[in-house]
Amino acid sequence: MLEDIARRLMAVVDEERMRRDLFYLSRDPLPFRTLNYRLPGHVLSTLEEADAYIAGELALAGYDVEREAVRVQALRRDFAKPPSAQYAPPLPTDPWYTAHNLYAYRRGTALPNEYIVVLAHKDSQSWIPSPGANDNCAGTVGVLEVARALATYQPRRTLVCLFCNEEHTPWTSITAAERLVNEGRTLVAALNVDSIGAKSDADRAAGRMANVTRYATPEGERLADLFSALNARYGIGLEQSKYETERPGDDDGSFIQAGLPAAVMNIGSLPYADPAYHREEDRPERVDLPNAVLTLRLILAVVAHLDAA
């Protein structure tokens, strides 16, 4: 029964639909997803327009989307740093903007206070004009697919698809994690979806299908081991591995720092090997969608098993 449920969820993931979303959000009509850039003649920033598209797609899937406002600033650019790390803190006098976390919920029927969160940061780099296709439009359209797959699923625990922002400051996942703590929720797992399928050009040319689950806590390692076990059990076909870090970071790190240790990141390679990382060349053509599809199928299998446990 559980395997049948997991396979039905996995079957919903649609590569062509992901391609449509990917190119819409990182090429045409939206070349970027930032609060400090508007298209000529447009009232909304490109990130606000991306929010509207994501919320619209979630509504079409049957969700009532919840928005959570967070004040942020764009990062500055420091040309003295290496190209992939030119982000720099803003000045206190730099403009402040209102970013939004977007939430799509499937409320649990048996254990509604226990939460499984699948998340991705939806913004592109605020300090450079980069499409941010691998980082992290791939994860954004991936979580959209997860939401579509879960739209008719009746969970025991509460499932949350969260679209946050990490390329402005402060990261809005911090607000999301602190909210769970303040509401007294139990976090079963936070599964960060970031740059899925992104790897070196040589590995992409060789057709490698890879996913790395990064963890920083014993609870995270148990999740990483579950990813490996289910990749084998369902014959998904990924080169699945785990990677330990001593310094929790990225949006999964926001949950760990808030005292919610069951958080991991899924990413295409570690050390991260995409040569277009944080550069203007991070275009949608570089996204390995077949790899991303396999990763999302594995994430859905993990969600099904965590919910049934």
**What is the pLDDT at residue 206?**
98
CB-based burial, 31-49: b 16+ in 10 Å, e otherwise: bbbbbbbeeeeeeebbbbb
Provide the mean pLDDT of the chain.
99
Q: Which residue has the tokens 């939806």?
A: 122
**What is the pLDDT at residue 17?**
99
**What is the pLDDT at residue 66?**
99
Half-sphere exposure of 261 toward its Cβ, with a 13 Å CA cutoff? 8
For the chain, give the percent of residues with pLDDT over 90: 100
| CATH code of the domain covering residue 54 | 3.40.630.10
CA-CA distance, 303 to 189, in Å (whole number)? 9
* Mean pLDDT score, 263-291: 99
Total domains present in the chain: 1
CA-CA distance, 284 to 289, in Å (whole number)? 10
**What is the pLDDT at residue 214?**
99
pLDDT digits (tens, 9 = 90+) for 126-164: 999 999 999 999 999 999 999 999 999 999 999 999 999
pLDDT digits (tens, 9 = 90+) for 203-212: 999 999 999 9
**What is the pLDDT at residue 125?**
99
Domain extent at residue 131: 2-308
What does DSSP assign to residue 76? E
State the CB neighbour count (10 A cutoff) for residue 207: 9
pLDDT digits (tens, 9 = 90+) for 221-264: 999 999 999 999 999 999 999 999 999 999 999 999 999 999 99
**What is the pLDDT at residue 222?**
99
pLDDT digits (tens, 9 = 90+) for 166-203: 999 999 999 999 999 999 999 999 999 999 999 999 99
Q: Judge whether 199 and 239 are in contact, CB under 8 Å.
A: no
CB-based burial, 70-106: b 16+ in 10 Å, e otherwise: bebbbbeeeeeeeeeebbeebeeeeeebebbbbbbbb
pLDDT digits (tens, 9 = 90+) for 75-118: 999 999 999 999 999 999 999 999 999 999 999 999 999 999 99
**What is the pLDDT at residue 41?**
98
